[in-house]
Amino acid sequence: MAQPVPAEGGQCISCGIPIFQSFILPQLTHKAELHKIVRSNDFPTHVQASHCQEIISSAPAELDRYEVEILRLRAILDKMEHDRALVDDYLRLCRYTVSPIRRLPSEILTEIFSFFLPAISGGTDPSSTLGTPGLKHEDAVEEELARVANADLLRISQVCPRWHQLIMGTPSLWSVLGLNLHLWHGPSRGRMMAVLQSSLERGGDFPLDLRVQVRGLYGHNALALIPLLALYSRRWKKVTLSVDYASQLRALSSVQGNLPLLETLHIDVQHRVPEFTVVEVTSYFTVAPRLTQLWYCGKPAALCKLPLEQLQLFVYLDVLPPDLEDLFSTMGRLSNTRCNCQIRVRVDNADFQPAIESPPVVSHVSVLELCGADILEPDRAEPLVTKFVTRLTLPFLVSLQLVCHRDQWFPLPWPHLEFQALSHRSSFHSHLKHLRLESVSITEAELFQTLSGLPLLQDLIISDVSEGDEKELVTSSLLQRLTWTPDSTCLVPELSFLECHTVLRFDDTVFRDFVLSRLKPGRNAAGPFEVDLQWYLEYHRELDPEVVAQFAELQSQGELLFSNTESPLFRSSYDYDV
């Protein structure tokens, strides 16, 4: 058997270090010969045996030489990896040094950080639960702590000293505070108090958005916090108070006459007795020179102490039938001609007792929305709606919205003769520009007569009634009456926006002709004509493809805004800009 042939030596061209080589690396033919002998159990030849003995004798030293070389190379590799990490860190440092974010002014960074403020708004329902529903008490307490401590901002403040200084030193970033006092008891209360005090102090004198919720069995254990919050009433700008009983807010008495910044007030009292307590609590807000928005849920008699005359937005949630007369008196005090008044009436199963005939109440609101809820029997809703249109005179009304969402059992009744009288004594023909009738039980003939008396109307929202008492309003005959004609005999000659919630029972060609008639020059100076078609899912069908294609072409030319989507089952009344 041939002896191993030493590999030719050599040196590294870069560093001159000898290249490691082994002198006993086997050749493939040698390994094949030995494998054959082992498998056949034959005896090796003398040459083969001598070769094996030589390898057995010299290989251990060769392996030790390998180990030394491997350790040497590993040290080199470790150093290279270490140096590479240093270069990588230095690269990131250089990039960060010249990063555009380091050049952002503090004002822009503050604006970015403000997106991490806790969300405490109840949306359109101030009585909604503050925090995540369904959490275990321990988890809810931790969530409360994180919200009060502004935990998201605190984490961001650890990025660098500049951010920490900016976050901790910017009062506007500590201007949102939501407290669920139901959780402020037990062993965590001391820690929560410390966090609350820190947040209040960091806010300095910046106007405060405050939400306080007292719900459930343990609410009374935390009422000691309310006097602490009252100490900061000069900062209150937007306040939401959601309680079970008005007596829980008596500790706010010190805020009276100390609300120079208050602009928005939400008061939600779940249990409406005793009434005198609610009046006492609302009296604390009698003097609020900047108050322009009021959201209220409770007894309307308690509103007598509030400065309603200066309001620009008045939202009354869940008025009950027995409280209507007090509500009308309240509306008579809404004398700001820019006031938007939104009322949700709960029809429920309460019997409506007609009051003694009274003269109409004059209210100067510019927007009135009446939303019906819990209509289980239409006969109970009719006298309520009738009462509204007979008791009110609205000489400055620009927008009227009668709404009953499709999640109700029955639509809102339409008192046609009483509405005509309201329209006449309020002179709607001279100032009403927006009309919304959503899930209202009005006939086609009544709608035609109503629209014919509103020549200045620009925005019209109507719906087919698809539950309870089916009535189709969005029909070919309506579209034909709305089609513009040279002799100006069409309905709503100034129409610029039409929204239809529909079962799609009209001729698409008639629909197209109506839209095209409204696009001609000079008929819509405010911009492109807008049509929002919202179909009920259970009645959906495809529109004529040629009509859709023609509308798409008009949109591309900027002459038309057209949308064709599913109508939502429930939509907040506050989704509309009026």
Q: State yes or no: pLDDT of 11 exceeds 70.
A: no
What residues have CB less than 8 Å from 542, skipping those under 6 apart? none
- Give the integer Cα–Cα distance in Å for 378 and 469: 10
Q: What's the pLDDT score for residue 460? A: 97
Band of pLDDT at residue 171, cut at 50, 70 and 90: very high
Q: Which residue has the tokens 């949700």?
A: 344
13 vs 567: which has the higher pLDDT: 567
Please spell the DSSP secondary structure of 208-262, one letter per residue: EEEEEEE-STTGGGGTTHHHHHHTTGGGEEEEEEEES-GGGGGGGGGGTT--SS-
What is the value of pTM for the model shown? 0.78
335 vs 349: which has the higher pLDDT: 335
Rounded to the nearest 5 degrees, what angle is found at the Cα of 575, between the Cα atoms of 571 and 577? 150
**How much is the average pLDDT of 327-332?**
90
Cβ pair 329, 309 in contact under 8 A: no
Q: State yes or no: pLDDT of 320 exceeds 90.
A: no
467 vs 375: which has the higher pLDDT: 375
Q: What's the pLDDT score for residue 541? A: 87
Digit-coded pLDDT (tens) for 303-312: 888 999 999 9
Q: What's the pLDDT score for residue 112? A: 93
Band of pLDDT at residue 574, cut at 50, 70 and 90: very low
- Express as a percent the part of the chain with pLDDT over 70: 86
- Give the integer Cα–Cα distance in Å for 480 and 490: 8
What residues have CB less than 8 Å from 275, skipping those under 6 apart? 299, 301, 302
376 vs 338: which has the higher pLDDT: 338
Q: Which residue in 520, 514, 420, 433 sits closest to 475, CA to CA? A: 514
Digit-coded pLDDT (tens) for 246-278: 777 888 889 999 999 999 999 988 765 556 677
* Structure tokens belonging to residue 179: 């407290």
- Give the integer Cα–Cα distance in Å for 73 and 377: 89
What residues have CB less than 8 Å from 287, skipping those under 6 apart? 256, 257, 259, 307
Paired strand residues for 459? 434, 497
Mean pLDDT of the chain: 84
DSSP 24: -
* Structure tokens belonging to residue 554: 């008009």
Band of pLDDT at residue 576, cut at 50, 70 and 90: very low
Digit-coded pLDDT (tens) for 461-512: 999 885 545 578 999 999 999 998 887 789 999 999 999 999 899 999 999 9
Digit-coded pLDDT (tens) for 535-563: 888 888 899 999 999 999 999 988 899 99
Band of pLDDT at residue 570, cut at 50, 70 and 90: very low
Show contacts of 522-526: CB within 8 Å, 24+ apart: 523/484, 524/496, 526/458, 526/496
Band of pLDDT at residue 40, cut at 50, 70 and 90: confident
**How much is the average pLDDT of 73-88?**
94
146-160, 213-227, 344-358 — most confident range: 146-160
Distances (CA, A) of 244 to 248, 335, 461: 8, 31, 37
Q: Which residue in 337, 338, 334 sits closest to 306, CA to CA? A: 334
Q: Which residue in 455, 433, 351, 345 sits closest to 389, CA to CA? A: 345
Q: State yes or no: pLDDT of 212 exceeds 70.
A: yes
Q: State yes or no: pLDDT of 228 exceeds 60.
A: yes
Of the listed ranges 81-85, 144-148, 512-516, the one predicted with least confidence? 144-148
Band of pLDDT at residue 436, cut at 50, 70 and 90: very high
* Structure tokens belonging to residue 384: 């309520």
Coil, helix or strand at residue 18: strand
Q: Which residue has the tokens 């849920």?
A: 297
Band of pLDDT at residue 216, cut at 50, 70 and 90: low
